[in-house]
A = this chain, B = another copy of it.
């Protein structure tokens, strides 16, 4: 079909550039956090700033797209976990996969962008899957019964960010960055072990409420310091 030929070289380059941009943005955001600059994202993708702004009219638009992709990844990881026959193994798959995403593009920019409809929808899908995953693991007795789905979500967020890895990446020390990554895998294994039933002693305080998630995305553009 002619379409394939029309989509050839030049348009194909545009497509490749878009993928490179999204991948680079994800990486840079994970390392530099909220202070990542558009210039550094374009540079990391090997693309001019102009090309970036031809695809996304603004920085926020790019960030929104990144969030949608990240939320989709989380939802998929949770659904893969549900596909596992063993409830515990399924939960472990979700946790390790989600952690391996790194801080993704979510936490660093929470509250700085407007939530799109697509983001809200993917988020609900993800929440539902995680809730089912945790419920299953509770019922089969593998997961300690005082750990809630929100506890696990917060645990994932806590483990996802690796300051050590980021630091060595920023300094271009690849070997040490790799070592930092395997060190974190050990820590994740420790945390997962801590989720197994039975627990030696109950978790302190009340279980976390959902406001911890929802309130943080209520984007308030008013700066705290006038």
Contact = CB atoms under 8 A, between A and B. Distances in A.
Interface of A: 33, 35, 40, 43, 107, 110-111, 144, 147, 150-151, 154-155, 157-159, 161-164, 167-168, 170-173, 176, 179-180, 182-187, 189-196, 199-201, 203-209, 211-212, 215-216, 220, 224-225
A171 B225 CA distance: 10
Contacts of A199: 193
Chain A contact residues: helix, strand, loop or mixed: helix
Given A184-B158, A200-B196, A164 B205 contact: no
A163 to B, nearest CB: 5
Given A167-B216, A224-B172, A187 B155 contact: yes
B182 A206 contact: yes
25 contacts: A33-B33, A35-B35, A40-B225, A147-B186, A151-B186, A151-B190, A158-B158, A158-B162, A158-B184, A158-B187, A161-B161, A164-B216, A168-B215, A176-B211, A182-B205, A183-B205, A186-B204, A186-B208, A189-B201, A189-B203, A191-B191, A193-B199, A193-B201, A194-B194, A196-B200
